[in-house]
Amino acid sequence: MMGSGNKKYRFGVVDGAALLLVAAFLVWFFHRVGAVLDYQWEWGAVPSYILRRTDEGGWVPNLLLTGFFTTVKLSLWASLLASVIGVLAGAMRAQGSPGQKVLGWVYVETLRNIPSLVLVFLFYFFISSQFLDFLGVDTWLRARSEATRALVAFFFAGESQINAFLSAVITLAIYEGAYVTEIVRGGLVSVPSGQREAARATGLGELQVFRYVILPQALRKILSPLAGQFISTIKDSAIMSVISIQELTFQGMEIMSATFLTFEVWLTVTFLYFVLTFSLSRGVALIDRRITKF
């Protein structure tokens, strides 16, 4: 007899009613916008801001798609850096020395109780105008070959935006890392102490116990919360538009101010964010199901 986890999902009456309700709301929304606000829908103009045709006849990403790619890069690097910060700070809070626990607590409580917008401005003006300018990242990049500049622009940003992009990544990672820290701490604390003692009895050192015994068990428990936090990172990346990072929200505002296609632009931006976050959540759900089989 197959377990409940292998049962196929069946489309039911409740699902059909929910879809009808959503469809009815969309019809009502578009009707009310046109009737009450006297708004003239111009959806035909939106595709040109996603892709544009070059003089040679090819197609290249336009503002919305380049903003989408910038959001992906910003969220990806920030999530990776936040994971490193979160694992280190989470380990300090869970099984570090008293001093390390206090340091981790100060980091978490400070970052979680500061408005994200204030944090963005503080870190941006400090990191970008002091630290990154001192390092001369943009100057270093301008002196590199065209192939190197193109590679850095593909994975990060061009020389004109590299300092702002890196400061945005660092700022977002530090902010999200505070939440990842608590997720990791909770996962580590949930591992029974007997597992640690048994691993020590086999002759493993503290680092080996953490790496090979504690962390793998904790990862199974924190995978879903981490996925939720990474999705939050994607949504929180929109706030970086205030420091002129040309991500999806910034590009949406630029197009809207130039064309006044308010609803068309923001509905398209919403859809692109949904595609990104929903794809991530489904991918993590698939990984989670496979992990639980072992």
Q: What is the pLDDT of residue 5?
A: 47
Structure tokens at 59: 């197609």
Reduce the DSSP state of residue 52 to 3 states and report it: strand
Q: What is the pLDDT of residue 233?
A: 93
Q: What is the pLDDT of residue 129?
A: 66
Q: Of the candidates 80, 96, 111, 291, which has an alpha carbon nearest to the alpha carbon of residue 188?
A: 96
Rounded to whole angstroms, the Cα distance separating 215 from 200 reads 15
Q: Mean pLDDT for each consecutive 10-residue tract of the chain (294 residues)?
A: 52 80 85 75 90 85 94 95 93 88 93 87 75 80 90 90 88 93 90 80 80 81 86 92 90 92 92 92 79 64
CA distances from 121 to 2, 190, 284 (A): 55, 36, 32
11 φ, ψ (degrees, to nearest 5): -70, 120
Q: What is the pLDDT of residue 214?
A: 82
Q: How far is CA 6 from the centre of its chain?
A: 31
Rounded to whole angstroms, the Cα distance separating 103 from 108 reads 9
Rounded to whole angstroms, the Cα distance separating 92 from 108 reads 12
Rounded to whole angstroms, the Cα distance separating 231 from 79 reads 9
Q: What is the pLDDT of residue 2?
A: 43
Q: What is the pLDDT of residue 3?
A: 44
Q: What is the pLDDT of residue 293?
A: 65
Q: What is the pLDDT of residue 155?
A: 92
Q: What is the pLDDT of residue 147?
A: 92
Q: Of the candidates 185, 220, 180, which has an alpha carbon nearest to the alpha carbon of residue 81?
A: 180
Reduce the DSSP state of residue 113 to 3 states and report it: coil
